[in-house]
Structure formats: structure tokens, C-alpha cells
Structure 1
């Protein structure tokens, strides 16, 4: 099991790297994260929903993503509440206190998944969540040491030296653990190191003498990785692209990995605009997915972004809405069952002639098809593929045009003037043909092609190569 001294210490990446290295050696390996809290998710082969990081790790392992790889997924809908997903399906909406009581039931689901993975694979690389030093969450823990103790799993502890205080992170974490948990940690991994390793060596020797545990590896800081983020929006890299795309960073933004291909495009300058910032002039504005569409719509309007959208359209700019962003573009969003909070209706932005009703059943499916606009190099409609994750049905009037033809059905909507496009399709930019067609629709004429899958594979191989010394050290234990 890979645990971290902090969130974003590099646990997900280390798990992916170890999965790829074992897969190269012919080992049947699977990733697992008992409990994940994230708004970036993926649809699995068994028709469920898991954290995006575990889907990435499954790619690294060369196996289909399955709900057993992330049996408990929490999708925050507010600061104190979240949608609880067990084995890929929505179980309930709970506040933090109710979920804490529910953890004993959730642990049963976690152990069921672990046992199924044990029967299918030679090795399981498990990822912890946050930090095991969170003593307030020790009771009924299923995410870190609670799981490791239950299945008798050895643990390596990862810390990010780029944050500073790496030795304090290790020592402090150990001090917060019980004696049996301390003994379970077999060694340390220092992540994101840059500089002269000789200057670090005295600290490594001190740490090993102080704790009696080895430093298994010092991993380098790798720039330019194209890996799916687990949750937080990654800082933007400097772009020289001339085609500006703006994404309003609403509070419950979900599946912002939709924009990874655009961020990697050499001719695109993609920017996330946060609270209290005006939307600058742009070629394309994209409203992203949301875990709480009505609340995020109200936030968008409070920020004055609706007026910016309307001005953008008056000047001929293009707009795309994805999932929750698609729902916002319509006339009304109805939530009769209180799926995302208080039951009721909200007026949409009124930019597409569509209406949406939120439903109690979540739609989860992988889809493929063709764009209803634009053509590939050979003259055929551009291919597109992706996945749907949403609770709601959207009805379009006869005035709208379809956005895509998916699984032999029309999907999404375009405005009669073809300035606005809405869709439930996540990953719509990931396929090179679709990405080129969508950017051409928005006004960018470019010969550059971004193959996100190839970039992802190259990045997985880079982190795997960097982790070869770690795997060697683990095998030597």
C-alpha cells in the first residue's frame, strides 16, 4: 500500500508507475483505492463509476477499469455533504457525520472488492487517501491504516520534497501512528526531488538512523507529464497558443480532465477563471461539468459571468456546455426530488432551447459515434468517443440541431445560429478527430493534432522508468 504524508504527495503516480513496471514483467496487477473523494471520475467496464486516478492506474496496469478498484467514491456536493457511491452505484447523499457512522458498512464493501481482486490478480497496489496522520479520522478508518491493518498489508510512505519540510512530514506522520501501524511502514519514498542528491544524503542518513526505516527511493521531479488529475485543477503551464479558451472554475467543477487535450494543444491558450475574476475576451468559452448544477449556476450568475457570456455571443464567440454546463445553457433546471439539494426549479441561462429535469438514477455509459458537424481528413464525419455521467434528462426543442450522433441516436444540442453547443459527453476532446473538428467549429484552423492517449502512455512510461529503483528496493526487502 502506498500512503502519503499529505494529499498530492504523489501516491497516485507512484501506484501507476508500480503497476506499469509489474505489467512489463508479465505480472497480473491491479490498482485499488479503498476510498476516494474526488469529482473527477470515469465509467468502468462493469457500468459503474470510479475515481479518475484509478482509471489511469488501470491503464498503467493494462487491465480494464473495474468498480472493485475504487469501491467507495465520495463526490462532494457541498462543504459538508457528498454523494456516496458504493461499487460504482449511488447509495445515498450524506453529511460528514452520517458517513462517519456508515463507514463500518462501507468497509464491508471494500473488503469484498479486495477479495475479488485477490482471486483475479497476482499483485494489488493499493493507494491511500490524504494522510494516515489525520488522527481525527482514525476511528473507523477505511482509507489508510484501517484498511492496511485489516488485510495485513505492508505500507510505503511518500512525501513531496518540493513542498518543503519533508523530514518533518515523515517524523510527524510516524508520531501520529500506533505502534503496530509504525511497524507496518517498510520504508520511505521522497518524491519530486530536484537538485544535487549529495546535498540530500546527510538528511537521508539522519532519517534512517532516527526511524530505523530505509529510504527506498528518491524520485525526480518530472516536468511535462500528461496524467489525469485525481481532483484538483493543475496549475496551467505557460502557453504560446493564440486561440484563447476560457473555462469558468465553478465551485463543484467535475471532470475537468475533459480539457487535458486542449491544454496540450500547441495552438490553444486554455485558462481557468476563478472567483472574483472577469472573463477576458476569448474565442471559445466552455462551461464545465458540475456536481451541483443549480448551485454552481447561481454562483456563475453572482460572478457576473452570464453577462460576459451574452457579450461574448454578441461578438460572434462560440460557447460549449458539457454535462452540468449543458444543463445551465437551457431554459430551466428542475430538481423535483432534491437530488442536488433543496428541491425546486432554477431558471437557466436561456441560451439553448432545452429543459432539464434532474432524476434519481444516474446515467453511466461509454459511448462512441460521430460529430454532427465537421469532417475528418477523408471527408467522413469526425469520430468521437467518451462517456456519460449525469443525473438528469434534457429535452431539446425541434429548433435545435444535434451535437453528436452516438450509438445511433442524436445527442446534445446546437443553437440555430450554430454559436452554442451542449452535450453530456465527457472526454469529447480526447479523440484527435473530434478535438480537431470541435476546434474548427469554434474557429481554430490548425494542422496540429493532439493524441491524448499517446501522451498519457508516454507519461506513464516516464514515471515508471523513474520508479525502477523503488521496485528494486521493494523486491530486496
Structure 2
């Protein structure tokens, strides 16, 4: 009953993450004990695991699809960029190094040992392991010491399926070109192809699919239609479809500046799905539009992102926003920006000290130990807007330690294991500015409604993000069942015919 399959892509964002999540759900519905695995991930959206580590958020989503608890072994190497050339290297869920690209290239031999350890751990524990590649195996400049694509698949003899996004155009060139860039022994591992995000009459595509089979002697396992409206956690970047135009019919305007090192923007998925909220992401060179609420998001390099915020003139726009009665909320790194000073004595990001925005009387110092934990609690009274207690749950991922009088009015009260509550974050005396280290602040419906009322939305409704995510996974699995030759795919993966 043991088996494995690796999904590689012709490009980044070809659909590898979504496809693995959908296949995990398909197998889980059939009673198969399945786990996702991504040897190396580069992403600023991360999640806290049940075993107290940090992995890419995509692998946490895939674990949810598989019906299992996420562990550090599902993503043993996580790279979190802090600049254009440097990144924090996380091994088995813990931050180990700060490296530039050249240093990490040399470090890959060590990182591959962690990959192999996790791979064998999952193979022992699960019936099936579905592996996700990174980027494309055809990136020739990255082939040396590759641990993410064929550099993993070949030594472990994992069969591979290659997915391409037809919505980008040139799908047959992408697939044949990718195959041609591989060595003969790597080509032999490729069992076939999947064409993703197709719109239109599939019969018109079939002559091309037949040509592809003739050209490569490999089958196409399915043509997956473009699925609009899926509510699934993004692996990293904010996609163009997430940056919707302003909707004047929605009653609460929320703006999020897209910081250069924005992290965990999945915090705002519930707001994107909310029928009363117009959520706008604001990129470089764009002014902050009028809003009821501006949210400063998480950041992997708080000082650098705060400098960028000032270079864009957003600090002055935020001052004007507050002067006219608007609200400002900071999450994690955005919370740290709201204080009077930021200190990085160990050079963990930029090093040195700089002034914060000064709206909360507190200072933040970056310490080498990263706080990683799942938490539950309730909103503080400053954010309840006359509502009863509102439960929150989420996670903390930060290296900053904040101190100061502002913390005496916490934004959130977290439950402690031995009883009692631990204050987190702060709310300003005038109630206009608030911040917290808690990711997932809007995910629970009661807290979401209370926060929207605090921001100015009367009669706020709520969105159950967990239910939307679950419905999306079921819809995704149904689609794969309908549009893919799954028996052929499972056979290619070496799976026992009982699940076919």
C-alpha cells in the first residue's frame, strides 16, 4: 500500500500547491493515510505546527486537506527572504541561520540531510506521500546541488508528474521544453502531465494533447478547469486576482500596504471573502486611498519595511487618516512599527535602531529566539466595541519582544496552560490604534465581527473562513475526480489498486 508521487511544475504558480492539496483530499476521502511533503520551500507565509515548529503555510493547508496534523517533517527546509539577497534558513521548524544566496548554495548538502531525514520519517508513518516541487526543474542555473526538484526525486526514485498552467499560454512549449531540459534518467522519472486552469471547450484542446503524447510518449492525466472563487491559503505572493478593484457598494473600506517583505498576508483572507468589506492591497507607487481601517501587516524585515513605508509617504497619509477618525491596526511586524522605537542589537534583520511611528508607547527589541506557538484567547475590552467577549485563536511567529506602558491596555488576552490570561498587544488611549502579535486575528467569526464594529461597520456580519476553506477543498477534490484519470495516476505512483 506504500506509494509516492511528486508534482513538479513548468513554472512557479503552475498549480503544484493546489494540486497536491486536492489529491491529498481525494486520497483521504478514500481512507488512505496520506501526507504532503515539500523538501524546500521559499515563502513568507508560514504556519506553526503541532510539534512546535514553523513550516510553509501551503504545507499546513495540504495537511488539513489530508486530515492530519501538520509537522515540521512536511517542510524540512523553509527559506524566508529578508532582503533581495539574504534569508532566514529554517531547518526542521527552527530558525538556524541567516544566509545570502551563495552561502545557502554551499549549505545545501547539509540541508539535504534534513530533507532525507524527514522523507524517511514520513515514508514510515504514512501509506502515501505526495511531494511538491519548487519553481521548475528546468531552471538550469539551479540544477547544481538541487534539493527541491529532480535533485530530490532522482536519488529517492520518486515518480514525477509535471503540471503546466494553460492560462499563461504556451502550455505545450512549457511541457516539452521542461522535459527537454532534463537529463535522460530524470525524463524517465516523469510519468506524464497535467494541464491546469483550462477555460473553454476541452474537445478543442485534444488535438494538442494527442500531439503531446506522440511527441513525448507520456500521457496527460487530466485537463483541470479554471476554478474561480477557491478560498485556499496562498503559498506566498499576493496574486493579481487578490487585488480586486474597489467595490463602492461594500460598507467598510480596509487598506493593506503591500510591504516589500510582507508575511502571512493570509491573515486577511476572511476580509477578502467578507460581503461587507472592500479590502484593497496597495502596492509600490500607489497612494493610500481613503479608508475606514488601515492594517499594517506582518513583515520579515520590519526596519526595512518601515523605511519603505516612509519613502512611499504612507506615514504622512496615516497621520491624516487618524486625524480624520480612521483606525489603524498592526499585526506582528506591523504592530512593532506602531511603537516609538525598533532595536536590532544582534543584526538579525537590518541591525541598529530606528524610530517607530510613535502611536503606541512601547519599544521592540529583536532577540535570537523566535516565538512559535499556537494560541487561543479573547479580544481585549478596547476592541470589543460593546460586544460580549469574542474568542480568538491563531498563532505567533516573531522574534521581537515589546515592552512599554502601552501594553497595559492589551488588544488580546491569551489563555495560559496553567490557567489565567497573558496580555498581548496594545490599544491606544483614544481607541484608534491597536496592534497584536496574533496571526489569524480575523479567522474566528465572533472576533471578526467585533473588530469590524471597532473599525466602524455597524451591524457587522461574519464569515466562517474555516467552512469556506473546507468547502473549497471538497470542491477541488470533486473537480479532480471528474477531470483526471486518477486510476492511471495512482498506478504511475506505484499505489496499490485497492484505492483506484
Range class of TM-score, shorter chain:
over 0.9
Cα deviation code 1:278-317 (max 9, x no counterpart) = 1111000000000000000000001100001111001110
The residue that corresponds to 1:123 in the other structure is 128
The residue that corresponds to 2:490 in the other structure is 475
Alignment pair present for 1:344 and 2:352: yes
Alignment pair present for 1:41 and 2:46: yes
The residue that corresponds to 1:332 in the other structure is 341
Q: Distance in 2 between matches of 1:403 and 1:119?
A: 44
Query: Which of these residues, 365, 372, 379, is aligned with residue 364 of structure 1?
Result: 372
Cα deviation code 1:150-209 (max 9, x no counterpart) = 211000000000000000000110111000000100010000001111110110010000
The residue that corresponds to 1:402 in the other structure is 410
Alignment pair present for 1:244 and 2:253: yes
Alignment pair present for 1:283 and 2:292: yes
SS at match of 2:375: strand
Q: Distance in 2 between matches of 1:476 and 1:140?
A: 30
Alignment pair present for 1:268 and 2:277: yes
Cα deviation code 1:349-381 (max 9, x no counterpart) = 01111100011110000000111135599x640
The residue that corresponds to 2:424 in the other structure is 411
Query: Which of these residues, 291, 314, 329, is aligned with residue 320 of structure 1?
Result: 329
The residue that corresponds to 2:77 in the other structure is 72
Provide the aligned C-alpha RMSD in A.
1.3
The residue that corresponds to 2:318 in the other structure is 309
Report the TM-score when normalising by structure 1.
0.98
SS at match of 1:465: helix
Alignment pair present for 1:258 and 2:271: no
Q: Do 2:257 and 2:297's aligned partners in 1 also have CA atoms closer than 8 Å?
A: yes
What is the 5 A alignment of 1:102-121? 102-121=107-126
Deviation at 1:277, TM superposition (A): 1.1
Deviation at 1:399, TM superposition (A): 7.7
SS at match of 2:274: coil
The residue that corresponds to 2:89 in the other structure is 84
Number of matched pairs: 475
Provide structure 1 residue ranges, at least 5 long, that are not aligned to the other structure: none
Report the TM-score when normalising by structure 2.
0.93
Please identify runs of 4+ aligned residues in structure 1 that moved more than 3 A.
237-240, 374-377
Q: Distance in 2 between matches of 1:292 and 1:375?
A: 31
Q: Distance in 2 between matches of 1:203 and 1:29?
A: 33
Q: Distance in 2 between matches of 1:128 and 1:328?
A: 35
The residue that corresponds to 2:463 in the other structure is 450
Cα deviation code 1:15-38 (max 9, x no counterpart) = 001100110011100000000000
